[in-house]
Structure 1
Amino acid sequence: MPAQVPAQAEVPAQVRVRVPAKVNVQLAVGAARPDGFHDLANVFLAVGLYDEITVTPADALRVTCAGPDAAQVPLDTTNLAARAALALAERHGIDPAVHIHIDKDIPVAGGMAGGSADGAGALLACDTLWGLGSSQDELLAICAELGSDVPFSLIGGAALGTGRGEHLTPLDVGGGFHWVFAVADGGLSTPTVFREFDRLTEGTDVPLPAADPALLAALRTGDPVALAATLGGSNGLQPAALSLRPSLADTLAAGTAAGALAALVSGSGPTTAFLAKDADTAAAVAEALTASGTCRTARVATAPAPGATVVS
């Protein structure tokens, strides 16, 4: 029988955590490994679109969700938020009896790590609710067990992810960047996109993934024009996403025509990302994308953003 939270711990009535989306400004993909994963050089940038995770004590573990496309979010133990609570409770021998509520604003299955964000947010929220006081390294270890993108959702900012993306090196960012995200109808499964990558690259010599020094330098200086110059071809999964969803090419073209400095598929897609030189240009690109009919909606956000943060 799992133990209860220690009686001396001060248990709050609820804990709310805000956690950001991400864009991969570089996603260099290596060949498939024997374990089925791919080595990556994954330059993460957290952006100011957020899910909020609220946990409260309950009789048993349950998950609810509200917000855009909430109906697509699984509410069972396949949800990364539920898995995070279970993993943390098992590690400490306590009962994972919490209600996890997800207020969803990150696109679902959109290549912006919304599910990973929920896992990281729930992990921090439960750790706080249960008064465990885990170190960041302890939480990151659990994050890595949950998924490749989950550790970055915890720390935010900017980082280079290697291995399958879970080994993080924080990166310096010298200023803010303005982004527009075009949300497509429907989602794309990340495993499906990786399988398409494997199909498209079968029989070819896939180079070892490495971070682009010019891209890292552009982040350090905070120069959007310099960053834009490095983004063409920076996403190794983009050809696979376009193969599965050819209509995304029209969205990329519409954003570029509207004045974006650069356009790319965000991660495994189908959300597309557009770098703008300033806030006014970002607003104009978002308006043009919405009017183009090539996407469902367009969202403006700045980067970098902080990682998972307790807000109440």
Structure 2
Amino acid sequence: MPIAADDPRLTTAYTAATTRYDDVPFARAGASGIPLPRISLGLWQNFGRDRSIETQREILLHAFDRGVVHIDLANNYGPPYGAAESTLGTVLASDLGRYRDELFLTSKAGYDMWPGPYGDGGSRKYLTRSLEQSLRRLGIDHVDVFYSHRPDPETPLEETVQALVDIVRSGKALYVGISNYPAELTRRAHELLAGEGVRLLLHQPRYSLFDRRPEEDLFPLLRELQVGSAVFSPLAQGLLTAKYIDGVVPDDSRAANSFFLDGSALTDDYLRRIRGIAGIADEAGLSIPQLAIAWVLRDPVVTTAIIGASRPGQIDDAITASKAELPAEVITALDEFAAPIGSATA
């Protein structure tokens, strides 16, 4: 169950910092009227019931105080599924609700959420009902962007797009986005939406020094279509940190506890790459995560980098990275240790 907004753990009066827009840079999403902070907070990890509500609240409020006003969710972020939305709903009720119009809140549906054939995929029934459930958990009447989280080969793209169009027309989302769509389906989704007078605001692909697949054909297409991108996993699920530089998996690390990453990723090739990146970061006066974030933001096609956070200081580090301009020689030096363009190493 969600924590009640009047729970004693959440009763400290909160007033947002008056300096919240003084520091973080913003960039416009494609050709739209929407600027987003170059750093956004994703609740994929660290915002389930396995974490204390006090810590989650502290991170959310610190992010807002630093100008990180874009918070990204999906229906099944947790654990359990739905918990991240419930957590944010609690903090909206107790603290952030009066700042709702300063927040840019996004959610998604496309992966498994509930049992049976209607709790997964891209059907009109699933997308529509999932968003309604998300809004109840969040305690709000609309999200700013609703994404189709993945293409569904079992559902005609026309049905998925029509559901997104009708969601916008219903007022339950102001804009739509797509995530994990390849370039050819992105172009078709853009065409179908445009035919209905609805803008494709954002594409959300995985992108990092260790996964450069979007550079091959997706990013050129987004430039052509003037669609923004909100990239996720800029730290390659923690691989682009110093945690594993000695080839050891700490007990409290993501590789020790995550379904998405395990110790098998710590190959000799990975260790060569991360140690090379560490040397370049040191020379640039940045940490490995800061260098990795600055690198994904080097291209204007990337509107914002979505980061996870288990403590407030990680948000501060990312904001520092968002203002770093990497010299051409640093970008060139990284090519030796990054994935080749159009491919992934992790």
- Which structure features the higher share of strand residues? 1
Task: Report the TM-score when normalising by structure 2.
Answer: 0.24
- Which structure features the higher share of helix residues? 2
The structure, 1 or 2, with the larger RCO (C-alpha pairs under 8 Å, 6+ apart) is 1
Task: Report the TM-score when normalising by structure 1.
Answer: 0.25
